[in-house]
Structure 1
Amino acid sequence: MSRAQQPSRRTVLTAAAAVAAALAGAAAPAAAAQRPTAEADDDPAQARPVDYRAWTTYREWRLGSARGVRAVAGSRPGVVIDTPAGRTDYTDPHTGTTATWEYAVWTAPVHLLTVPATEVVASWNAHTPAGTWLQVELQGTYSDGTTTPWYVMGRWAAGDQDIRRTSVDGQGDGKSGISTDTFAIGDASTGLRLTSYQLRLTLYRRPGTGLTPTVWRLGAMGSDVPDRFTVPPSTPGLARELAVPRYSQEIHKGQYPQYDNGGEAWCSPTSSQMVVEYWGGRLTPEQLSWVDPSYADPQVDNAARFTYDYQYEGCGNWPFNAAYAATFGGIQGVVTRLVSLADLETLIAAGIPAITSQSFLASELTGAGYGTSGHLMTVIGFTADGDVIANDPASPDDAAVRRVYLRREFENIWLRTKRYNASGKVASGTGGVCYLYFPARPAPHQRRALEAVGVR
């Protein structure tokens, strides 16, 4: 996402959902699957307006409906292609190339949302060797008892040689629609909500090979954050700063303009790369060999290339960033919403930074020096006064990336759902959206912190 003041390519979610919902019909699913019985939730309903649910364990993978896939155990359980369910042709809309693929399908049990949702964002962690890719879909049930189509939430590969990773525009049924990576009710003021959903995972490989994607985590965040221009102030509870690498997106301005016009718009992959390296993720010289050797921090260029969404025409697809982070050994990535700065303090206390998404005028965030219709930065700690310490990639160079932002200003621009833009018109806020990257095997105190903010 760009720090520029003009509207970002991720349009206002509520408006975009209303437009998308007016479009009839959704893309046909790649393969049919039966609808299993709804699962029972292990946790009681909580007051949080956010419900993140993921499938990660061998037992959970075994509970799904499988057509040509099998669950694998081990230190990082997942699902892989076993005996393909069939073959299908896929024409890549961004290259025009048609190819035949073998596929297999895993469908999650129905998840009953503890919070009937106005928005849902799926995310996943997977390994897709060359010659493989995957598709994630979502189908839900509305509070009026009707059912959504199967919506494509993303077509993804870690690389960009077999297919171009892409979101899918033009999906809607008159009640809801997909805005890049987000399912949204078209008019939440009617009271309509999504009460349950299923996720469907289709794994693809070149015919006649033994290749397979491996998916370790598949989940979705449903939420119903109330409309609000301001949020209640919080009380400081922590003073700590994490040693997260600092990278500027601005020093990449003009580099590889085919990836969203170069570094000016690379706040999301730049933030992702900071946290990936905090957790020990490193790229080899061979992986970076495609980058012009005269460019500083070539790993940021790499992150931009491999988070780029060819439909959205940008690097700010939320689940694509989480999936990129998880391509590094030992790292998991999720997209969720947090509800307060206390949530961030809980994570920082456990050594877990968070990448937050926010929009604001220059006058609303003291010291930023810019306004934005959508921007990602990395929260790395809190001062003794409770102010937010952030690695802000919209800085002139790496040395200037560390910023301290006033607590009250930061929590409001991040957690609100409504704001006034530079033209004085009502626009949306993200309502606490963030990326969380953390170890594949969290330490006990990290696990407890993640569970405290609704992630397991």
Structure 2
Amino acid sequence: MTSPTSRRTVLAAAVAVAAGAVTASAGPAAASGGAARPKQGQQLVDNQAWTSGADWRSGAAHGVRVETGRRPGIVIARPAGTSSYTDPHTQKTATWEYASWTSPVHRSSVPATEAVAHWNAHTPPGTWIQVELLGTYTDGTATPAYVMGRWTAGDGDTDIRRTSVDGQGDGKSSISTDTFAIDTPAGGLRLASYRLRVTLHRTPGSRLTPTVWRLGAMASDIPDRFTVDASTPGYAGELAVPSYSQEIHKGQYPQYDNGGEAWCSPTSSQMIIEYWGRRPSAVDLAWVDPSYADPQVCQAARGTYDYQYQGCGNWPFNAAYAATYRDLSAVVTRLRSLNDVERLVRAGIPAITSQSFLATELTGAGYGTSGHLMTVTGFTADGDVIAHDPASPGDAAVRRVYKRHEFETIWLRTKRYNASGNVSSGTGGICYLYWPASPTAGQRKALAAVGIR
């Protein structure tokens, strides 16, 4: 079996290089200069989101208005102006009406080395949004206005191509596809606070508008660590999540990240979208070859594809894709341990986790990977992890049971040794969470416990 790989790992590798290689003799000392490795329960992550009518009214609006109701959001009311955009992927230049909303300043509870934005939005054909981060460092200086993504759900003739933006940096920080990162964390500089700006675009003269329901970011400062503390099992149970294999899509639609072998992220996303009872329509799937099994996985790959990154593993793009389905909310965050996942699963919320490992580090996987997404759907009576692993030969083989501490280690660590014996980076507990826009009281409590509202 070919080891699943993802160009998504380039992001983590870039951060590792910027931070400086960690040698075996150095060990997993914290970037702050040798501080003791914190316990997993310590707060290392700050989550912020604007979602309510009061939230939207608290920002600076330029041509947008707040739509109230069960799911408040912002829409274009009267365009603030027009702008020209040359799409780097189609070479088409077009004029767009725009309006914008800028959040109040959010001072992170965690002075951060990294930040990942997310958004939940409806973008009809001929509309799109741009999300920017405008930060302040702990030395009091300002970051550039960093573009965190240009997003639209479609890819038709009237649409731009959804894209991340490369080449952004100021010598202190930079953007790697979807991730803001301090270039040299060992120097002590951090992101102290930020505002998010979302700009809504539409074809001039159109009455259509994007609707943005959620805008937020996860800021974090996860110190270098090769190992993590073992968590104590606290819950046994399993959610009835559909099983889809990415491997059965090998060779299908290679224009989307070389076909199914690299589709771990959209395949995992599709499993959870369908767990919540949402599916693409027959019209949505009409473009897929009818001989292909599980065409909705092909649709997810197409709908998450980042034309700059040339892959389907852009974290906020996967969350944004999930939120295109009726009344789903989605975020990118980091969790502290498998106890956080247990709390979510107990409330009925599965979690999509990102990890990298050698074949010898995850018993029963049968492969190694430099970056891979799985869905945690439950826990055995012994506390081991029940995961839906899309890197399986077929749908029937997707459900796996992995040893608890092995799984926790490969997911939470930030440093690891690769097959060549060199130091590579890990994702430090990155996770996607998707849930109904109107959660139950128990679900709301579980989300709040991991910092999500």
Superposition TM-score, scaled by structure 1 size: 0.92
Alignment of 1:153-192 (within 5 A): 153-161=148-156, 162-192=159-189
Aligned residues: 430
SS at match of 2:109: strand
CA offsets, 1:392-425, max 9 Å, x none? 0000000000000000100000000000111111
Tell me how far apart the structure 2 counterparts of residues 96 and 423 of structure 1 sit (CA, whole Å): 41
Q: Is it true that 1:250 corresponds to 2:272 in the alignment?
A: no
Asked if structure 1 preserves the Cα contact closer than 8 Å seen for 2:354 and 2:371, the reply is: yes
The equivalent position to 2:432 in structure 1, one of 425, 432, 435, is 435
Distance 2:5 2:209 in 1: 42
SS of 1:273's equivalent in the other structure is helix
- Amino acid aligned to 2:70: S
How far is the alpha carbon of 1:5 from its aligned partner?
6.5
Classify 1:410/1:248 alpha carbon distance in 2 versus 1 (closer, same or farther; 3 Å). Answer: same
The reply to whether residue 406 of structure 1 matches residue 403 of structure 2 is yes
Go from structure 1 to structure 2 and tell me whether the alpha carbon gap of 1:218 and 1:3 turns closer, same or farther (over 3 Å shift): farther
- 1:9–1:389 distance in 2 versus 1, CA, 3 Å: closer
Q: 2:5–2:262: 8 Å Cα contact kept in structure 1?
A: no
Q: What corresponds to 1:271 in structure 2?
A: 268
Which residue identity is paired with 2:62? R
- 1:16: how far off? 4.5
Pick aligned residue for 1:239 from 230, 236, 241: 236
Tell me which amino acid in the other structure corresponds to 1:48. Answer: Q
Are 1:261 and 2:261 matched, yes or no?
Answer: no
Aligned equivalent of 2:62: 67
**Partner Cα separation in structure 2 for residue 112 and residue 17 of structure 1:** 26
What is the match of residue 134 of structure 2? 139
* SS of residue paired to 1:344: helix
Unmatched 5+ residue regions in structure 1?
Answer: 21-45
In the alignment, structure 1 residue 296 sits paired with structure 2 residue 321: no
Partner of residue 118, structure 1: 113
Question: Equivalent residue for 2:282?
Answer: 285
1:58 aligns to 2:39 (yes or no): no
In 2, the alpha carbon distance for the partners of 1:3 and 1:341 equals 28
Residue by residue over 1:311-337, the C-alpha shift from the partner in whole angstroms, topping out at 9 and shown as x without a partner, is 000000000000000000021110000
> Does the Cα contact within 8 Å between 2:4 and 2:262 map onto a contact in 1?
no
1:8 aligns with 2:18: no
Over residues 270-325 of structure 1, what are the superposed CA-to-partner deviations in whole Å (9 max), with x where a residue is unaligned? 00000000001111111100000000000000000010000000000000000000
CA contact (8 A) 1:248 1:393 kept: yes
Q: Which residue of 2 aligns with 1:28?
A: none
Report the counterpart of residue 332 of structure 2 in structure 1: 335
What is the CA–CA distance in structure 2 between the aligned matches of 1:13 and 1:108, rounded to whole Å?
A: 28
SS in 2 for 1:302: helix
User: Where do 4+ consecutive residues of structure 1 move more than 2 Å?
Assistant: 2-10, 12-20
Match for 1:77: what amino acid?
P
Equivalent of 1:105, from 75, 83, 100? 100
Residues in 2 aligned to 1:199 and 1:6: alpha-carbon distance in whole angstroms? 32
Query: Counterpart of 2:382?
Result: 385
Checking the alignment, whether the CA contact within 8 Å between 1:51 and 1:114 is kept in structure 2 is: yes
Q: 1:442 to 1:7 in 2, by over 3 A?
A: closer
Alpha-carbon contact 1:362-1:369 (below 8 Å) kept: yes
Aligned amino acid, residue 432 of structure 2: Y
Aligned partners of 2:164 and 2:309 also within 8 Å:
yes
TM-score, normalised by the number of residues in structure 2: 0.93
Supply the distance in 2 between the matched residues of 1:181 and 1:305 (Cα, whole angstroms).
18
In the alignment, the residues of structure 1 paired with residue 178 and residue 210 of structure 2 have an alpha-carbon distance, to the nearest angstrom, of 21
Equivalent of 2:420 in 419, 423, 443: 423
* CA-to-aligned-CA distance 1:165-191 (integer Å, 9 cap, x gap): 000000000000000100000010111
1:205 to 183, 202, 207: 202
| The one of 341, 345, 352 aligned to 1:344 | 341
Amino acid of the structure 2 residue aligned with 1:236: P
One-letter amino acid of the counterpart of residue 379, structure 1: V
